[in-house]
Amino acid sequence: MEYGIGTKFKPTAPACDVSIDKCPVGFVALYCRHFEFSNLRYPFSLFVLDLLEYYRVSFGQIHPKGMARVLHF
C-alpha cells in the first residue's frame, strides 16, 4: 500500500510507450513525483479535489512543485 493507495484500486503502471494523457477510461493517471516530491497522499483532501475541479485540471496537468504549493495551504 504505497502512498496510501490500497490494492483494491488496482494501481497499474503504464506501458513504456504510453503517455499520461492516454489514460484508459475508468482510470486516473498520477505521477509518482506528486507523491514523492509534493507529499500528496490518498485519500486526497477535499481542498485539493475542489481546486482541481474549480480550475478544470487533472493531477497530470499540475507540476509536482505546483502541487507542493497547493498542499501547503
What residue ranges do the domains of the chain occupy? 44-73
pTM of the model: 0.69
Cα 54 from Cα 48, distance rounded (Å): 10
The residue assigned the cell 490500497 is: 6
Question: Would you state the pLDDT for residue 54?
Answer: 96
Per-run averaged pLDDT (10 residues), the chain, 73 residues? 81 83 82 84 90 90 88 81
Q: Which residues contact 1 (CB under 8 A, 6 or more apart)?
A: 7
**Other beta carbons less than 10 A from residue 54's beta carbon:** 8
